[in-house]
């Protein structure tokens, strides 16, 4: 701006001096026109130069800001507490997600593998496929209901099943899952292949319960029930956060001593929990059959109260024809 101001003043001064000259009118006009044109050209050149200079300054400032922001993130990943705050901040924008859980429990020579895949939609509806001991079960959660799909594409309402733990119909949003993962703030952090690993070790029931609550936030009653029979436990949980600060996985490895009757049994349990499709699941459509599903008790009552089905009309006609033929014979 300073250069532009000086050039503008110079142009005015040159024009004034030319007008006051004792030279001829023509010479004066030519000089004035020439001086003004030169000044304008200089003015435009200066403006372009200043504009380019300002743009370069803005680009440099933006680069500096990016470096500063990147530097801040680099500082944060050195601290597990800062990582937790970062993924918690990012989780608010995620309205749906998918989980894949594989749990392997070993007792002596016996091995039990359970797989559970769940899609959680933005309305907090969910579809879960459960595989256990060679059997598969599909569960739908919506409107505080838990409905199971049975043979033939039919559904049964198992919300009030007494064998199920309390709170099983509580679907957790991704934000709630991350909030429950506060346990990772106590871990050791390191960067591996552009991702961040946070490992937390535990060697007592209290810390083990915190870990279970963090990875099973919707199953607190089940966790509480399981804790009653645990005598001793140790192990670790490893959280993996990707470069976009999304929770990618939580892997647990536990060694337990569990009371079964009068005996104490040693178990090894490993869980691999994967989180994916952050914000990409969208809405989950619930079939009308599932919405209108009846409980086992209701189905039994309906069967007991339903009258015997009448014979088909075509069968009645056939019986009449047979009777006529018999009479004729």
**pLDDT tens digits, 36-53:** 445 445 555 555 555 555
Rounded to a whole number, what is the distance in angstroms from the first to the last CA of the chain?
123
Return the closest-CA partner of residue 212 out of 244, 250, 240: 250
CA angle 271, 272, 275 (to 5 degrees): 135
- Residue range 85-113, pLDDT digits in tens: 999 999 999 999 999 999 999 988 899 99
Q: Are 239 and 275 in contact (CB under 8 A)?
A: no
Most confident of 36-40, 62-66, 178-182: 178-182
Q: Is 279 exposed, middle or buried (0-12, 13-18, 19+ CB in 10 A)?
A: middle
pLDDT in tens, 305-317: 766 555 555 555 5
Q: Among candidates 186, 189, 180, which has minimal Cα distance to 212?
A: 180
d(CA 164, CA 147): 12
Say how far apart CA 121 and CA 280 lie, in whole Å.
9
Cα angle value 22/18/2 (rounded, 5°): 155
Give pTM, 2 decimals.
Answer: 0.67
Q: Kindly provide the residue ranges of all beta strands, DSSP E only, lying in 72-187, ordered along the sequence.
A: 97-107, 110-120, 126-132, 135-142, 145-150, 154-157
Q: Are strands 263-276 and 97-107 parallel, antiparallel or unpaired?
A: antiparallel
């Amino acid at each position: 701006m300073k250069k532009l101001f000086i050039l503008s003043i110079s142009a005015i001064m040159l024009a004034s001096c030319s007008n006051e000259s004792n030279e001829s009118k023509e010479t004066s006009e030519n000089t004035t026109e020439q001086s003004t044109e030169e000044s304008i050209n200089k003015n435009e050149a200066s403006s372009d130069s200043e504009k380019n200079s300002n743009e370069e300054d803005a680009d440099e400032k933006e680069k500096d800001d990016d470096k500063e922001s990147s530097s801040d993130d680099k500082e944060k990943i050195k601290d597990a507490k800062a990582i937790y705050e970062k993924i918690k901040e990012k989780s608010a924008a995620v309205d749906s997600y998918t989980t894949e859980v594989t749990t392997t429990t070993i007792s002596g020579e016996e091995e039990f593998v359970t797989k559970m895949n769940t899609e959680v939609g933005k309305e907090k509806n969910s579809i879960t496929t459960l595989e256990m001991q060679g059997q598969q079960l599909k569960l739908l959660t919506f409107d505080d209901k838990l409905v199971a799909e049975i043979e033939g594409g039919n559904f049964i309402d198992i919300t009030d099943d007494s064998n199920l733990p309390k709170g099983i119909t509580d679907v957790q949003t991704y934000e709630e899952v991350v909030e429950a993962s506060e346990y990772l703030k106590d871990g050791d952090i390191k960067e591996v292949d552009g991702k961040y690993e946070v490992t937390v070790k535990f060697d007592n029931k209290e810390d083990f319960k915190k870990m279970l609550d963090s990875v099973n936030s919707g199953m607190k009653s089940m966790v509480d029930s399981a804790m009653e029979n645990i005598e001793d436990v140790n192990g670790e949980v490893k959280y993996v956060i990707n470069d976009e600060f999304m929770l990618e996985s939580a892997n647990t490895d536990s060694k337990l001593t569990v009371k079964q009757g009068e005996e104490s049994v040693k178990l090894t349990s490993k869980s691999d929990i994967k989180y994916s499709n952050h914000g990409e699941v969208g809405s989950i459509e619930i079939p009308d059959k599932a919405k209108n599903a009846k409980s086992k008790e209701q189905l039994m009552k309906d069967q007991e109260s339903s009258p015997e089905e009448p014979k088909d009309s075509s069968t009645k006609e056939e019986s009449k024809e047979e009777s006529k033929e018999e009479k004729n014979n």
